[in-house]
Homo-oligomer: A and B are copies of this chain.
């Protein structure tokens, strides 16, 4: 094979010796595994907080937006916060939680990949302080930049540490 794959070490090699149970990718896709959920999260990072704006900007029907936002709140990516405009009834807005904010690297990685392989979009992410373009990269704790072919999948040293 000339493709770059991960190196599986120890009990993980050969692959058939273990089941990918508790796979964090599977668990993540179980809780946010739809196109509309990803796009609602995108909107939250763009500063959208109100129900009707989420629905309009993502381009989904209000029932779909309601259902997905409810799921994102239940999972813990968003939280509801009441607001009230003069003469209106109290409504909820949707704000990112810490768990939600931590989802940003996944969106940034997908954005980088889509931009590279499916056609460049008209917008880009920049570091606000210095103005330079942003990218997602893989680094180890020693600070080395790491390519796919240099990665090992191993059993965790401290499974519940």
**Are B42's CB and A23's CB within 8 A?**
yes
Pick out which of these stretches binds chain B: A62-70, A84-92, A133-141: A133-141
**Are B35's CB and A26's CB within 8 A?**
yes
**Are A26's CB and B39's CB within 8 A?**
yes
- In the assembled complex, the CB of A86 is this many whole angstroms from the nearest CB of chain B, namely 20
**Are B57's CB and A38's CB within 8 A?**
no
**Are B96's CB and A105's CB within 8 A?**
no
Q: Name the CB-closest residue of B to A112.
A: B105
On chain A, the number of residues with a Cβ less than 8 Å from chain B's Cβ atoms is 95
Inter-chain CA distance A132–B132, complex, in Å, is: 28
Inter-chain CA distance A104–B111, complex, in Å, is: 13
**Are B142's CB and A127's CB within 8 A?**
yes
Q: Name the CB-closest residue of B to A48.
A: B15
Q: Which of A100-152 contact B (CB under 8 A)?
A: 100-130, 132-142, 144, 146, 148, 150-152
Partner of A156, one of B122, B129, B150: B122
**Are B29's CB and A39's CB within 8 A?**
yes
Q: A46-B5, A124-B156 are in contact. Are A24 and B140 (CB under 8 A)?
A: no
**Are A29's CB and B156's CB within 8 A?**
no
CB<8 Å pairs between A and B, sample of 25: A1-B95, A8-B46, A12-B123, A23-B39, A23-B42, A24-B120, A25-B42, A25-B110, A25-B111, A26-B35, A27-B114, A27-B119, A28-B110, A45-B148, A103-B113, A105-B113, A108-B138, A124-B153, A127-B142, A130-B140, A132-B144, A134-B139, A135-B139, A136-B136, A137-B137
